[in-house]
Chain A
Amino acid sequence: MAVLEIILVVFLVFSALMAVRFDEELISIIFLSIFSLILTALYLLHKAADVALAEAVIGAGLNTAIFMSAISQIRHGDSD
């Protein structure tokens, strides 16, 4: 159990770093979705089923859709 948790936490920190590192917003949002998915698995490991369901539905599903619809209507001006 502890080995699985350590592996998941390593992936969690990696995906958080990747979400911050890149300049393009689309890659950041995809990595944020992966972050939420790994966090769901960690919640299930810690025996919190309700929180895991909420995180899967909201973090990996709804947040991604809202962020996508936000970045698709943002116009980058001439000063690029």
Chain B
Amino acid sequence: MFTNLVFIILFMIGFYALVMKTNLIKNVIGLNLMEAAVFFWVISFSDIGGEVAIHKMGEEMTKFNDPVPQALTLTGIVIGASTAALLLTLIIELNKFSGTIDREKIEGLND
């Protein structure tokens, strides 16, 4: 319940930044916040009170946290970083031609 509430709050903050802010870099930041909210939800939801999913030498351990969502989250974090870099590159290139990063002031997009 707590986890769901935190997820909704963080996701809505990111969505607000994505929709309401006209600064393009703030939009990328909102996208990052939404990604982080989803990852936090997955990790916190799959925590059942076990140990870190790493065996220790010479001990028989069976009560672990689920390793599959953690692996998926790890994949997602790296992909999120590279997509953010690509988006920022596009913003830089857009800024070279238009001179602004406000999406309402770019000419030719909304007329």
Indicate whether A and B are direct neighbours in the complex (CB within 8 Å).
yes
Interface residues of A (CB under 8 A from B): 9, 12-13, 16-17, 19-20, 23, 25, 28-29, 32, 35-36, 39, 42-43, 46-51, 54-55, 58-59, 62-63, 66-67, 70-71, 73-79
Chain A residue with minimal CB distance to B75? Answer: A54
Determine whether the beta carbon of A63 is less than 8 Å from that of B84.
yes
B30-79 interface (Cβ within 8 A of A): 30, 32-33, 36, 39-40, 43-44, 47, 50-52, 54, 65, 70, 73-74, 77-78
Query: Given the complex of chains A and B, what is the CA–CA distance between A12 and B7 in angstroms?
Result: 11
The A-B contact count (CB < 8 A) is 118
Chain A residue with minimal CB distance to B50? Answer: A47
A53 to chain B, nearest CB (A): 9
